[in-house]
């Protein structure tokens, strides 16, 4: 992220809070903001909007994902060959992660050599680690920190503007779209299972570790941890992403979110609720899929979220503003906060809501 962008974001954030706090911002809070280091969530790439019947509509005023094109755009380089070994890698310049261009078993610049190989979960971890010893210890692609990706890392190469596959094939060619790809993340609700991604859509699921699935290895690490600051006004600021969240699920209130009844509404009603929310004078919206993914915590279950920051969160489905990019466009992405799974469902079905404002990045 450019330093100028961070500076403008900080000045805007502080000026808003100075207007709300005539006595000035406490020094501790100012220090928190000035010392914040964040990585804005990926922009989903979705630029159109659709109604519940799947018809294209003008984005302005809808509050849908297509209306807001903020966040970090995908920025890949590759496939890049290491020396003359025939080993190809793809670099994400935004996250700093380096990926094997092909899933394990495939080879070549276009991944048409060989054939994709499946592994049980423990063998998948061993396979990625084995890449570090190649080339007389120089490692695959000249790198020696290969590992199985976390579910958060694997999610950074999903492109929600694409479908079948929902991955950019210019940088990851010959995707095995009908496969599942392993992550290193254990399902927080069942330690016998691990999280997998379906590259055709970006859908995630929980898979028995003894089953055999495809594998793409990653080099480097992506810090997906959160750094929350409770603003004591019904909002929670995440210093790791510069997103300001509604502390309580829609319908709830109070310091521990125990007052009221949680709202369970259709997609249209959820969009409308966030668009009209007047909490503390901010302009709110329904989060897109990548924004909502940023507060999932896979070290927790029932719900898979930090309940000290977001108390009384339901173990259930929370909607997003992102439409499933398929032929009928009548479905939207959601996250099941029971264990953090990403899936899609009809816009007409009811789900829970938590609003966000992205004015600080």
267/275 Cα distance (integer angstroms): 12
Q: What is the pLDDT of residue 178?
A: 85
Q: What is the pLDDT of residue 177?
A: 81
CA dihedral sign of residues 36, 67, 205, 246: positive
Q: What is the pLDDT of residue 4?
A: 40
184 in helix, strand or coil?
strand
Residue 239: both structure tokens together: 């210093």
Contact 145, 100 (CB under 8 A): no
Residue 250: both structure tokens together: 């829609």
Contact 80, 99 (CB under 8 A): no
Contact 302, 318 (CB under 8 A): no
Strand intervals (E) in 63-202: 76-82, 87-92, 98-100, 106-107, 113-114, 146-147, 181-186, 193-198
What is the reported pTM? 0.89
Q: What is the pLDDT of residue 204?
A: 97
Query: Got the DSSP string for 192-241?
Result: TEEEEEETTTTEEEEEETTS-BB---EES-------EEE-SSSEEEETTT
pLDDT along the chain (361 residues), means of 10: 38 40 40 56 89 94 90 87 95 93 97 97 98 97 97 94 92 92 97 97 96 97 89 94 95 97 98 95 94 96 97 98 90 97 97 89 57
């Amino acid at each position: 992220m450019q330093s100028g962008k961070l500076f403008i974001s900080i000045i805007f954030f502080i000026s808003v809070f100075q207007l709300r706090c005539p006595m000035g911002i406490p020094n501790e809070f100012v220090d928190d903001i000035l010392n914040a280091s964040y990585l804005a969530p990926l922009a989903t790439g979705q630029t159109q909007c659709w109604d519940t019947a799947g018809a294209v509509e003008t984005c302005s005023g809808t509050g849908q994902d297509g209306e807001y094109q903020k966040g970090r755009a995908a920025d890949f380089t590759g496939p890049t060959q290491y020396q003359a070994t025939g080993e190809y890698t793809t670099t994400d310049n935004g996250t700093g992660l380096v990926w094997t261009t092909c899933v394990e078993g495939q080879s070549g610049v276009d991944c048409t050599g060989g054939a994709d190989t499946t592994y049980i979960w423990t063998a998948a971890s061993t396979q990625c680690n084995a890449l570090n010893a190649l080339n007389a210890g120089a490692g695959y692609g000249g790198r020696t920190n290969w590992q199985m990706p976390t579910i958060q890392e694997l999610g950074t190469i999903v492109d929600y503007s694409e479908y079948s596959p929902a991955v950019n094939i210019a940088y990851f060619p010959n995707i095995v779209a009908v496969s599942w790809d392993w992550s290193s993340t254990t399902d927080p609700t069942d330690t016998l299972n691990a999280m997998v991604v379906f590259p055709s859509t970006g859908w995630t699921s929980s898979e028995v570790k003894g089953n055999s699935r495809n594998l793409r290895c990653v080099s480097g690490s992506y810090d997906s941890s959160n750094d929350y600051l409770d603003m004591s006004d019904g909002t929670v600021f995440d210093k790791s992403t510069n997103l300001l969240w509604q502390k309580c699920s829609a319908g709830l209130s109070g310091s521990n979110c125990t007052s009221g009844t949680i709202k369970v509404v259709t997609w249209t009603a959820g969009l409308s609720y966030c668009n009209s929310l007047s909490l503390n004078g901010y302009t709110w919206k329904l989060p897109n899929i990548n924004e909502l993914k940023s507060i999932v915590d896979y070290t927790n279950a029932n719900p898979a979220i930090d309940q000290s920051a977001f108390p009384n969160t339901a173990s259930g489905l929370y909607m997003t503003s992102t439409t499933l990019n398929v032929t009928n466009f009548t479905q939207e992405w959601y996250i099941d906060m029971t264990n953090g799974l990403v899936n899609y469902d009809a816009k007409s079905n009811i789900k829970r809501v938590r609003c966000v404002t992205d004015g600080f990045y």
